[in-house]
Structure 1
């Protein structure tokens, strides 16, 4: 299957052959359709290793093999990296989690350390639906009408979140109604600085001590939408 692949990969690193460049091959048109692009970050679990590993896809030969970088924990797991070992791969692509089973074909050490995996025969997918939520604890400033309160986002989905506000002497709970507009200012994982998110209140749970409101996002920026999808994926246990 991989006859001559050492020569091919060496040629790629020396001369930049188009056989290994993601920009030069439309992987959706040739061979088996696969939603996997060069440079995409993947997570995989390997037989005999009790924790997930992180890597990046750097090349492929359609219907034959995938090439990924050596994971950062290489020194701890190199004794497990033997040809034929079972591997389960997961990755996020445009809001959908894809997964497949594969096996390690071979490792090369020069010019760089790379893993060659069998090309997947079956790919499963898991849609991060709008109702899929992940627990969170993001400090947030909440502005409703002319009143500002400090609280926290306690869970989040691609389309909305729940926000928790405590009653205190310094900040009394604001009066709220369904469909009131709201502005949340918070720091999302992976984004520098605070970002404003606009929304509309869709659910209210209130007591003397606290207020929990369900918020539907309005006009969410693409960057934040993608980061929320990645966050949900990261906290889910797909293994």
Structure 2
């Protein structure tokens, strides 16, 4: 939780701007992975209601009154976060969790969020070449990918060249694609690592990418 708590000090407090039905991402004290839930409603200055998280059975023992969690969610292109303690687990008339109404809500513009280490299968189209790659570093504005060079896959990449990159994010059924410009190239033995900047992106690309970044703690 230490890294998550550091995030809470990045910005001045903001209001709790959130719509009913918004997906929220929970970092629960004593749990080593994030889970997701849905915002149901609130009573100002008293409590917030969220649904029981996905993978409920795997975190059930940590969902007890007094245990703390960090709640993150997206609103108008920014990532918001607050810390709260669990008040009660509700079983009737709905299955949900009541948590404290936050005293402080912080936000961070995702345009300045650090890149995130990942391992996402992808492919690249460059001129007449089609390459299978692994995306290992990603943000809203760009990514880095790598692949093993062979005689058949040897390609003369140069900075500022344009390519099209495709990737399949976990939990997203359709492959995402975007045009990108090469910003840096690094070769280590037979492995080529390339950093690119996205351009001509649309909402069908940026929305699932933003949700994915938020879900992994970006």
| TM-score (structure 1 length as normaliser) | 0.71
Distance 2:122 2:187 in 1: 18
1:208 shift after superposition: 5.7
Cα 1:69–1:148 shift into 2, 3 Å: closer
* 1:185–1:195 Cα contact (<8 Å) kept: yes
Does 2:162 match 1:181? Answer: yes
Matches within 5 A, 1:1-239: 33-46=15-28, 49-51=30-32, 52-71=34-53, 72-73=55-56, 77=60, 81-82=64-65, 85-94=66-75, 95-130=77-112, 132-169=114-151, 171-206=152-187, 209-236=190-217
Deviation at 1:53, TM superposition (A): 4.7
Deviation at 1:62, TM superposition (A): 2.1
Secondary structure of 1:185's aligned partner: strand
Higher relative contact order (CA 8 A, sep 6+): 2
Per the TM alignment, residue 69 of structure 1 is displaced from its structure 2 partner at its CA by 1.9
Quote how far apart the aligned CAs of 1:46 are.
4.8
Rounded Cα–Cα distance in structure 2 between residues aligned with 1:115 and 1:208: 52
TM-score, with structure 2 as normaliser:
0.77
Give me the whole-angstrom Cα distance separating, in 1, the residues matched to 2:204 and 2:112: 16
Gaps of 5+ in 2: 1-13
Contact 1:143 1:183 in 2 (8 A): yes
Alignment RMSD (CA, Å): 2.8
Q: Evaluate the alpha carbon distance shift between residue 159 and residue 111 of structure 1 in structure 2; reply closer, same or farther with a 3 A threshold.
A: same
Determine the C-alpha separation between the residues in 2 that align with 1:147 and 1:75. Answer: 44
Number of aligned residue pairs: 202
Which of the two has higher C-alpha Rg? 1
Structure 1 unaligned residues grouped into runs of 5+: 1-31
Partners of 1:165 and 1:65 in 2: CA distance: 49
**CA apart distance, 1:75:** 8.6
Work out the CA distance in 2 between the residues paired with 1:229 and 1:76. Answer: 25
